Amino acid sequence: MSVTTPTLITFVIYIAAMILIGLMAYRATNNFSDYILGGRSLGSFVTALSAGASDMSGWLLMGLPGAVFVSGLSESWIAIGLIAGAWLNWLFVAGRLRVHTEHNHNALTLPDYFSHRFEDESRMLRIFSALVILVFFTIYCASGVVAGARLFESTFGLEYSTALWVGAAATILYVFIGGFLAVSWTDTVQATLMIFALLITPLFVILALGDMDSVMATIEAQNPANFDMFRGLSFVAIISLLAWGLGYFGQPHILVRFMAADSVRTIPNARRIGMTWMILTLAGAVAVGFFGIAYFADHPDLAGPVSANGERVFLELTKILFNPWIAGLILSGVLAAVMSTLSAQLLVSSSALTQDFYKAMLRKNASQRELVWVGRAMVLLIALIAIGIASNPESKVLGLVSYAWAGFGAAFGPVVLISLLWKGMTRNGALAGMLVGAVTVVVWKEFIGLGLYEIIPGFILASLAIFVFSKMGPAPSASIVKRFEEADADYHAG
> Quick one: pLDDT at residue 452?
94
Per-10-residue mean pLDDT for the chain, 494 residues long? 70 83 80 77 88 80 88 92 96 96 91 93 88 82 80 78 82 75 81 89 93 92 92 92 94 90 93 96 96 94 87 88 85 76 79 78 77 80 84 63 87 97 96 96 89 95 98 93 96 87
* Helix or strand holding residue 31 (H, E): none
> Quick one: pLDDT at residue 177?
76
User: Residue 158 and residue 13: Cα distance in Å, rounded?
Assistant: 19
Instruction: Give all strands (DSSP E) within 301-440, no chain letters.
Output: none
User: Residue 23 and residue 93: Cα distance in Å, rounded?
Assistant: 32
User: Residue 87 and residue 273: Cα distance in Å, rounded?
Assistant: 11
User: Residue 148 and residue 339: Cα distance in Å, rounded?
Assistant: 8
Q: What is the crossing angle of helices 267-298 and 77-89, to 10°?
A: 170
> Quick one: pLDDT at residue 397?
52
Identify the structural domains of the chain with CATH numbers, from first to last.
Answer: 4-399 (1.20.1730.10)
User: Residue 263 and residue 42: Cα distance in Å, rounded?
Assistant: 8
User: Residue 272 and residue 426: Cα distance in Å, rounded?
Assistant: 33
> Quick one: pLDDT at residue 4?
64
User: Residue 73 and residue 67: Cα distance in Å, rounded?
Assistant: 9
Give yes or no for a contact between 425 and 117, defined as CB atoms under 8 angstroms apart. Answer: no
Alpha helices in 93-123 (DSSP H): 95-103, 110-117
The counts of H helices and E strands in the chain are: 23, 0
User: Residue 251 and residue 411: Cα distance in Å, rounded?
Assistant: 10
Q: What is the pTM of this model?
A: 0.89
List Cβ neighbours of 237 (8 Å cut-off, separation of 6 or more). 451
Residue 173 is given by DSSP the state H
User: Residue 335 and residue 397: Cα distance in Å, rounded?
Assistant: 18
